[in-house]
A and B are shown apart, each in its own frame.
Chain A
Amino acid sequence: MSATTSLFSVKSQRAILWWGIGLAVAYALALIFLMRMVPPPSADWSAESVSEFYRDHSTSIRWGAVISGWTGAFMMPILAVVAIQMARVETGGAKIWSALSLVSGALMSLFLALPPIFWGAAAFTADREPEITALAHQIGLLTLTTTDQYYIFMWVGVTVLALRPATQLVSNNPFPRWWGYLSLWITVMFEAGAFAFIPKTGPLAWNGLLVFWSPLTLFGVWITIQCWLLFRALRGQEDDQRSGAAKERDLETAFL
Chain B
Amino acid sequence: MAGLEVDLLAPDAGEDNPKRRVPGEEGTWIFIFGDMCVFAVFFCVFLQARISDPSGFAADQAQLNQNYGALNTVLLLLSSFLVVLAMRSIRSADHHSWTPRLLIGAWFCGAGFLGVKVLEYSEKISHGITPQTSDFYMYYFVLTGLHAFHLILGLIVLTVMVLMARKASLSRGQFVFFEGGACFWHMVDLLWLVLFPLIFLVR
Contacts and interface: CB of A to CB of B under 8 A. Distances in A.
B131 A199 contact: yes
A154 to B, nearest CB: 18
Which of A182, A185, A189 gathers most chain B CB within 10 Å? A185
Interface in B136-152: 138-139, 142, 146, 149
Interface string B19-33: 000000111101100
Interface string A169-210: 000000001111110110011011000001101111000011
Q: How large is the interface on A (under 10, 10 to 19, 20 to 34, 35 or more residues)?
A: 20 to 34
Chain B residues touching A, majority SS: helix
Interface in B2-47: 25-28, 30-31, 34-35, 38, 41-42, 45
A110 B138 CA distance: 31
Contact of A203 (B26, B30, B142, B149): B142
Q: How large is the interface on B (under 10, 10 to 19, 20 to 34, 35 or more residues)?
A: 20 to 34
Chain A residues touching B, majority SS: helix
A181 B142 CA distance: 24
B173 interface: yes
A188 B45 CA distance: 20
Contacts of A179: 27
B27 A181 contact: yes
A128 to B, nearest CB: 30
B42 A182 contact: no
Interface of B: 25-28, 30-31, 34-35, 38, 41-42, 45, 131-132, 135, 138-139, 142, 146, 149, 153, 173
Interface of A: 165, 177-182, 184-185, 188-189, 191-192, 198-199, 201-204, 209-210, 214
